[in-house]
Structure 1
């Protein structure tokens, strides 16, 4: 790959010829406009224009996916919409190693062009200049394992429920129960950050007092991801509140604070950054619009998240299992020979989802979060945690879930409760 250009792969749908559409994309995102203008010399275009690297024709459809496209002049009768895979390259000197300006270049106004009835950013290849500017995850998989002292299996975790409404004293009870249950990881819900009824500083105090008290008793200190999502000028203060209290993780809504906000947090973060991708569905749910996770997760890793949500198999959300599996594999595939992040699996999970997850994903380097699958276990939270661990033990050992359950009571209870 050229070290002075960025390569972006797109899936497009257009009523125009694919070659013409690709040239429109390249022009719009570099030197061109809808008409030739003074100063647009051949020398300037040669140095600053985007280039069409390749075009792969795919299927042709009879109806547009998105409204607002404009067919070619002189079109009569039925219109065909051509789909294709297009790779463009952009000179790095147009924008430099800057995530915000990278986005302006590879996405920018492309989605609004009337020549397209579908356009999706699929992947990015970035030069090493970005690695020099953005050091990526500070902790990643290995650093997170070391900090929490969890090895040779997935992290087992949960989300505080109810999502909102608990006072700090009520939250104490929930955290105490989960910590005593031997759980590895607990996170705030994305809805609960610094609300007036339960300010972050009060929640941090209550949670960390309980975590430290249980750690003194059991020797295990739970990693708790406090949601510090806020305005940029408040992020550092929120992070400091967590670290001063002995907290070992912070969570941030990536799309709420922006990738530049995450990179800002990464500069001074002393603990892992748990990256939540809420609002992601708006960016990706339409298959002919927005962005593929492959491209998105690379920018999240550049910005510095250490953990990244990927949904999970058979979850309550729309995403297919195939997409989830690919997302997990993307996260653990090295970038710049490193930059791996811990994939986070959540939504509708219980011990019985471990074998399918391991078989499809081929890794134990995940956080497997279960709400009802742990807290709703008939034997209580401790039995719920044990059942999750047992589900993964069965998966890794290649023993069927039901066979393993014959000698593991908590797993048998989970199957009876959740497996119907």
Structure 2
């Protein structure tokens, strides 16, 4: 693998302690800590020459006016070499570990917040991308001339499987194209997934017979990787039309599910508001 590919570039807002050193020194130590830490780099020296292509580095600093005291603040642009990261599996998760894994552990780093993130083209090409996307879902539904209408079952929690099936049927007959589980609903005692999935999938088929239109019902797989096979098999047996996952809570599950089914996968936006708004390109109603 070439070591000259474009880097993953991150912009951080930082606050550092004057007593601990200059901001560029503290940020450089952070770069070493995230990539090529050793006795030499911790002392502020360059890494061994053969490690240099894999070492993160500070590219630009923009200091903010000082308010006095011990704190200095500003913005730093840092490059993380794509060559140093895993190029198989879920490259996105590996990249985020490089960027934020232990960045805050550096002596003198008082605050560190990621405010922008640019992925290299090599990395983007390594990601599989959508299998269906919105065009694929339109094709499955046979709807091309208007917006698609998708909604979660309401109330979010509290009803029995038969009640949620009835709600799904009524919504689909009334004009919805897709009805999905709410992200809060997985496998509670009052609404077991093994009962809810077949009843709601059946409701979608009955709505198709009533309207003469294709409909979809989507099952939420939850965030517990240890129960994935169990829930996935329930969905297959029930004949659901798609699956929903929460990639910000369990990113690998999105890749895992994609490898197990040809059905559309809905990516819910849970936790999005805790992330910088520049990451909104992550959120797509139909990710795969």
Instruction: Identify whether the pair has TM-score above 0.5, normalized to the shorter chain.
Output: yes
Q: Match of 1:60?
A: 65
Correspondence list, 1:212-227, <5 A: 212-227=205-220
Q: Match of 2:243?
A: 250
Per the TM alignment, residue 103 of structure 1 is displaced from its structure 2 partner at its CA by: 1.9
Q: Match of 2:149?
A: 156
Q: What is the CA deviation profile of residues 150-169 of structure 1, one whole-angstrom value per residue up to 9, with x for unaligned ones?
A: 32433223221111111111
State whether structure 2 residue 255 is matched by structure 1 residue 263: yes
Structure 1 residues 242, 99: closer, same or farther in 2, change over 3 A? same
Correspondence list, 1:176-195, <5 A: 176-195=169-188
Q: Distance in 2 between matches of 1:152 and 1:108?
A: 46
Q: Match of 2:86?
A: 96
Q: Distance in 2 between matches of 1:22 and 1:37?
A: 12
Per the TM alignment, residue 44 of structure 1 is displaced from its structure 2 partner at its CA by: 3.6
Equivalent in 19, 25, 35 of residue 24 of structure 2: 19
Q: Match of 2:109?
A: 115
Aligned length in residues: 277
Q: Match of 2:118?
A: 124
Q: Distance in 2 between matches of 1:88 and 1:121?
A: 12
* Counterpart secondary structure, 1:254: coil
Per the TM alignment, residue 275 of structure 1 is displaced from its structure 2 partner at its CA by: 1.0
Per the TM alignment, residue 33 of structure 1 is displaced from its structure 2 partner at its CA by: 5.7
Give unpaired runs (5+ residues) of structure 1: 63-76, 285-291, 301-305, 309-340, 343-420
* Counterpart secondary structure, 2:25: helix
State whether structure 2 residue 49 is matched by structure 1 residue 43: yes
Q: Match of 2:222?
A: 229
Answer yes or no: is the 8 Å Cα contact 1:180–1:214 preserved in 2. Answer: yes
Structure 1 residues 247, 224: closer, same or farther in 2, change over 3 A? same
Structure 1 residues 137, 240: closer, same or farther in 2, change over 3 A? farther
Q: Distance in 1 between matches of 2:4 and 2:278?
A: 20
Per the TM alignment, residue 18 of structure 1 is displaced from its structure 2 partner at its CA by: 4.5
Q: Match of 2:98?
A: 105
Q: Match of 2:129?
A: 136
Q: Distance in 1 between matches of 2:277 and 2:266?
A: 17
Equivalent in 63, 74, 82 of residue 73 of structure 2: 82
* Counterpart secondary structure, 1:198: coil
Q: Distance in 2 between matches of 1:174 and 1:48?
A: 55
Per the TM alignment, residue 34 of structure 1 is displaced from its structure 2 partner at its CA by: 7.8
Answer yes or no: is the 8 Å Cα contact 1:29–1:50 preserved in 2. Answer: yes
* Counterpart secondary structure, 1:96: coil
Give unpaired runs (5+ residues) of structure 2: none
Answer yes or no: is the 8 Å Cα contact 1:251–1:275 preserved in 2. Answer: yes
Per the TM alignment, residue 250 of structure 1 is displaced from its structure 2 partner at its CA by: 0.8
Structure 1 residues 52, 153: closer, same or farther in 2, change over 3 A? farther
Q: Match of 1:207?
A: 200
* Counterpart secondary structure, 2:110: coil
State whether structure 2 residue 265 is matched by structure 1 residue 273: yes
TM-score (norm 2): 0.82
Structure 1 residues 36, 29: closer, same or farther in 2, change over 3 A? closer
Q: Distance in 1 between matches of 2:202 and 2:117?
A: 44
State whether structure 2 residue 10 is matched by structure 1 residue 9: yes
